[in-house]
Structure 1
Amino acid sequence: MEFLFWSLVAIIATGVVWKGSGLLESASERLSAWYNLPEIVQGAIVVAVGSSFPELSTVVISTLVHGEFELGVAAIVGSALFNIMVIPAVCGLVSQKQLRANRDLVYKEAQFYMIAVAVLTLTFAFAAIYNPVNNGGPAILGEMTRWLVLMPLALYALYVFVQYQDTMDHTGTVDTRGIRPGKEWLKMALSLLIIVAGVEGLVRAAINFGDILGTPSFLWGITVVAAGTSIPDAFVSVRAARNDRGVASIANVLGSNTFDLLVCIPVGVLVAGTAVVNFSVAAPMMAVLTFATVALFLMMRTHMMLTRVESVVLLGLYVFFVVWICLETFAVVDWVPTLPPPDSG
């Protein structure tokens, strides 16, 4: 009964996140039109940051309220994998035409996102090298400090600057006479409060799933919480794809992941002061994320489009990842020896 109760909580919390994200998406799009932002900047910055607020809330709440930084990191990495494999695949399948990209998307957004993955991996490595934590076991642990996470935050500042340059020569063609910016900012603030409430429900459900089934919170963070917090990105991108706006749909995914990796995880450390990261687990997860990113990049680069066959391949890769994580957690396979095992007690 307890498991069913927390399953219901997770479903309701996901619905709350979806509702808040719908308000956030609407306000973000109207504010983007009001401030005369080009489509790719709207997708990669404004809508992406807005739809990533659930992930940011997850890290802050899990770290500050529940003392579960690892759950927050797992949710971010799981969300990034969901975004990079599932959302483009679904967009490619529901789009009435082939999901098209362009050179800005492939050579700027995708490649900058690859750099983001590399920089966060380096940040984890520096924590393990310069601030090692001795736990008496085989796991390689490192303490992330506020000074250390300034590196990914500085890279995101550079990303925002590059995007700002794209707005300089843009001329808007959208009628903004019906937009009231003050009202849209209030709607955005309300949506953020709704999202925080939903994320708190997801985090509590993940922690209780772990306690009930004797499994680490890592498993539920990288699957249930990650998928739940990715709902906003999914709806934003799918809607854009159905309206034949393939560039905006993929730009939202890449921009959202860039924000998740370079801002959400560092903010958790800034809030907590310090946080211990298990590099023995983080490194394989980042390797999987790198592989998925390269796969999407190559698929988009071929003829500047994502075909339906390639979309099915991406979905297959994500299913394989989830099955692998479950098998690792229950010690059926041991490719990542230091992954937290099930609670034997």
Structure 2
Amino acid sequence: MQKKGGSTWARRALLLGIFWAVEHLPLPGASLPQRLPRATGNGTQCVISPSSEFPEGFFTKQERMDGGIIIYFLIILYMFLAVSVVCDEYFLPSLEIISESLGLSQDVAGATFMAAGSSAPELVTAFLGVFITKGDIGISTILGSAIYNLLGICAACGLLSNVVSTLSCWPLFRDCAAYAISVAAIFGIIFDNQVYWYEGTLLLLIYGLYVLVLCFDNKINQYIVKKCSSCCTCLAKAMEERTEQQPLMGWEEEGQPFSRRQSRTDSGIFHEDSGYSQLSISLHGLSQGSEDPPSVFSMPEADVKRIFWVLSLPIITLLFLTTPDCRRKFWRNYFMITFLMSALWISAFTYILVWMVTITGETLEIPDTVMGLTLLAAGTSIPDTVASVLVARKGQGDMAMSNIVGSNVFDMLCLGVPWFIKTVFINPLTPVEVNSRGLTYITISLNISIIFLFLAIHFNGWKLDRKLGVVCLVLYLGLAILSVLYELGIIGNNKIDPNSNEHKWQK
């Protein structure tokens, strides 16, 4: 009873702490736009430190240098675990029921609901950026996050998955084309350093058109394959695979639906994977006639997994008290609440993670530009990374790739919505001032990433495996290094005059 009481007080304290953080602290993306200096006209503008938008933390800088930084590293690792648990136990199951209810295929579900849910932090912070910080989007945020989403997450899916997933040509072509159009639109919109109301509206229309294409995905796919299959063998093959695809249930043997072992988590953190190699969406055993999964409080048998289970128990309890488990019959009809609550918790955990990463980078004296292009880019994309890796480990390659590219397309909506609100409702007819420094470099890098990703998958036999993961990782590191060199003024026309924590860019 004493142990139970202690656990109750611990989870209450954690719940109150996170709720306080969500209510009173600025989210990370609100500070991201101001992490880089702006070059406006012939003038210069000083950098605002990334940590200036965050609380000071538990220790002073000297205390962190004396060993307190270890606490921050532990919190970062714990937030990784928290995001993994909420994605695997609540976010993905709710997504799968939504897909079942709407009859969506893997790739469409990944490009829409999965991309929207895992990109919730970007959307929330973009809104706060309009109403609170009123900052613009810098090259570090755009370039770092976009390239990481395309190449970094793809590398993680290939390297961290034991399952070789077969990819379809049409979904990847569709999403890459949509993203290329979005990048071109961004190029045209911020070319003159100003965003007008009709330009924000244009981004919303582009995303709306993308969703419309997804709504008629099957018909459009059939038409394009019929017209182009004679000159493109991969499209013909994709059509055959798509015709035979079961969008929601996998089949272990002919006429027999497979039955996944209902483990504590499907990501393999606590229990072994069920051993299948190819499948469609599993629904976590969520068919109407299935039994409820085991309790989230049931302890696994293996010793190592027990350690992870004990460490994650506060997270498990917190989610159990605040989010309905739609895998259970009683809560199945509340799957939209599960989806929204899990997206909220993903945003909260991501905030804490990026906060800790920012303070850690400042303590280790990592330049702000390097932080924006590497650690912060990866930190803000952790939900996309975790969700994509989890579905890739289940053999759902199309869903993983559609989430990778679709989340970037969704980020265009994250830019369009606050720009539209600011130019139409807050300051009508007044353009938003943005920073277009390095715009050409951004566009070239993103287009290289899109084209390379598509060609790499094509020459790899339309397989998501470790070979593709290694190639994407090498290219990502190469582009990240070039981006850092550009930001630091080593290459290109941008020069930096370092002055303690403040830098001035000279144009």
Corresponding position of 1:46: 113
Q: Deviations over 1:258-303 (max 9, x none)?
A: 111x211222323544543221223312321111111001112223
Corresponding position of 1:269: 419
Q: Deviations over 1:193-229 (max 9, x none)?
A: 3233334445655776787788875543332232112
CA 1:314–1:172: 2 relative to 1, 3 Å = closer
Letter in structure 1 aligned against 2:204? L
Corresponding position of 1:192: 343
Query: 1:216·1:341 contact (CA, 8 Å) conserved in 2?
Result: no
**Aligned equivalents of 2:201, 2:354: Cα separation in 1:** 26
What SS is found at the alignment partner of 1:280? coil
Corresponding position of 1:243: 394
Corresponding position of 2:454: 297
Could you tell me which of 56, 59, 81 is aligned with 2:123? 56
Corresponding position of 1:134: none
Query: 1:55·1:75 contact (CA, 8 Å) conserved in 2?
Result: no
Corresponding position of 1:124: 190
2:403 paired with 1:252: yes
Corresponding position of 1:157: 208
2:195 paired with 1:144: yes
**Aligned equivalents of 1:217, 1:66: Cα separation in 2:** 18
Q: Tell me the percent identity.
A: 26
2:159 paired with 1:93: yes
**Aligned equivalents of 2:455, 2:177: Cα separation in 1:** 11
Query: 2:118·2:343 contact (CA, 8 Å) conserved in 1?
Result: no
Corresponding position of 1:309: 467
Corresponding position of 1:231: 382
Corresponding position of 1:133: none
Structure 1 residue 78 displacement after superposition? 2.0
Letter in structure 1 aligned against 2:471? V
Letter in structure 2 aligned against 1:154? L
Query: 1:17·1:229 contact (CA, 8 Å) conserved in 2?
Result: no
CA 1:225–1:163: 2 relative to 1, 3 Å = same
Query: 2:123·2:414 contact (CA, 8 Å) conserved in 1?
Result: yes
What SS is found at the alignment partner of 2:492? coil
Letter in structure 2 aligned against 1:254? V
Structure 1 residue 18 displacement after superposition? 4.8
Deviation larger for 85-94 or 300-309: 300-309
Query: 2:118·2:346 contact (CA, 8 Å) conserved in 1?
Result: no
Query: 1:216·1:342 contact (CA, 8 Å) conserved in 2?
Result: no
Query: 2:350·2:383 contact (CA, 8 Å) conserved in 1?
Result: no
CA 1:27–1:336: 2 relative to 1, 3 Å = farther
Structure 1 residue 155 displacement after superposition? 0.9
Corresponding position of 1:136: none
Could you tell me which of 434, 440, 449 is aligned with 1:283? 440
**Aligned equivalents of 1:212, 1:65: Cα separation in 2:** 26
**Aligned equivalents of 1:17, 1:341: Cα separation in 2:** 39
Letter in structure 2 aligned against 1:311? G
TM-score, normalising length: structure 2: 0.56
**Aligned equivalents of 2:110, 2:435: Cα separation in 1:** 33
**Aligned equivalents of 2:196, 2:79: Cα separation in 1:** 31
CA 1:110–1:70: 2 relative to 1, 3 Å = closer
Letter in structure 1 aligned against 2:416? P
Corresponding position of 2:491: 334
Query: 2:83·2:386 contact (CA, 8 Å) conserved in 1?
Result: no
Aligned length: 326
**Aligned equivalents of 1:85, 1:316: Cα separation in 2:** 9
Letter in structure 1 aligned against 2:167? A
Q: Which is greater in Rg?
A: 2
**Aligned equivalents of 1:224, 1:39: Cα separation in 2:** 30
Relative to its length, the structure with more helix (as a share) is: 1
Q: Deviations over 1:95-147 (max 9, x none)?
A: 4454422121233222222222222222222xx1xxxxxxxxxxxxx122332
Matches within 5 A, 1:63-102: 63-70=130-137, 74-96=140-162, 98-102=164-168
Structure 1 residue 234 displacement after superposition? 1.6
Corresponding position of 1:36: 103
What SS is found at the alignment partner of 1:234? helix
Letter in structure 2 aligned against 1:55? E
Deviation larger for 79-88 or 28-37: 28-37
Gap runs ≥5 in structure 2: 1-59, 223-242, 250-285, 291-328, 424-430, 503-507
TM-score, normalising length: structure 1: 0.79
CA 1:173–1:198: 2 relative to 1, 3 Å = closer
